[in-house]
Amino acid sequence: MISANLFVLIALILLALIFIIGLIFSKKDKKKKIDYHNFFIIGIVWLGAGIAIGISTGNYGLFAIGLIFTIMGLAHKKEWKQNIADREKRLKNMSKKDKKRLMIIKGVLVGLVLLGLVAFLIIYLMNQ
């Protein structure tokens, strides 16, 4: 039986690996503009998740972080149009190799989310 502490440790190790991979593939030569549209989207997602987690555990930390991201995104709403245009231009000018790498990264992230949900359900059902 996998304990919750072991699951959290595995999740932290995976997050650290994702962070390290992101640092390796990031380009340090260009200064990137902040994408406030993505801040807003992340904030909305974390608000919803934070409410659900807060109700079940009493910890509303993710809700608070989501609220901060949402407010930051809304405060810079006038920059959203440029953020979206920049993102579309960047994707259009991407090489086939970079597009393939991006799809692999997205697939791994989706797989990790699904794996996390399955692990959560298994641990939840074992503790019932």
pLDDT at 72 over 90: yes
pLDDT at 69 over 90: yes
SS3 35: coil
Query: Using an 8 Å Cβ cutoff, are 72 and 41 in contact?
Result: no
Instruction: Kindly state the percentage of the chain with pLDDT values over 90.
Output: 24
The model's confidence at residue 91, banded by pLDDT at 50, 70 and 90, is confident
Q: What gap in Å lies between CA 73 and CA 90, rounded to an integer? A: 21
Query: What are the pLDDT digits (tens) for 3-43?
Result: 667 767 777 888 888 888 777 777 665 677 888 999 999 99
Mean pLDDT to the nearest integer, 84-103: 89
Q: What gap in Å lies between CA 65 and CA 47, rounded to an integer? A: 8
List the one residue out of 96, 110, 86, 103 whose CA is nearest residue 30: 86
Q: Which of 19-23, 86-90, 92-96, 107-111 comes out lowest in average pLDDT?
A: 19-23
